Amino acid sequence: MKSNGTTRVVMLGTGTPRPDPDRAGPATAIVVNDTPYLIDFGTGVIRRTTAAYEKGVIALGYGGVNIKTAFLTHLHSDHTVGYPDLIFTPWTMGRKEPLEVYGPKGIKAMTEHVLMAWQVDTETRVSGVDPKNSTGCNATAHEIAPGVIYQDRNVTVTAFSAHHATVDSFSFRFDTPGRTIVISGDTSPTQSLLDNSRGCDVLVHEVYSIADFQRDSPQFQEFRRRYHTSSIELAQIANTVKPGLLILYHRGNRAGGLVTCEMDDILLAEIRRTYAGEVVAARDLDIF
Decide which of 118 and 165 is more confident.
118
CA distances from residue 206 to 53, 123, 141, 195, 230 in whole angstroms, order as listed: 25, 40, 25, 17, 9
Strands 202-208 and 69-71: unpaired
pLDDT tens string 171-226? 999 999 999 999 999 999 999 999 999 999 999 999 999 887 777 778 877 778 78
* Helix 260-272 vs helix 231-241: crossing angle, to nearest 10: 50
Alpha carbon distance 262, 270 (integer Å) = 12
The number of angstroms, rounded, from the C-alpha of 253 to the middle of its chain's C-alpha atoms is 18
Q: Any idea which fold 7-281 has?
A: Metallo-beta-lactamase; Chain A (3.60.15)
Give the start-to-end residue ranges of the domains of the chain: 7-281
pLDDT tens string 221-278? 777 878 899 999 999 999 999 999 999 999 876 544 555 678 899 999 999 999 999 9
Portion of the chain with pLDDT greater than 70, in percent: 95
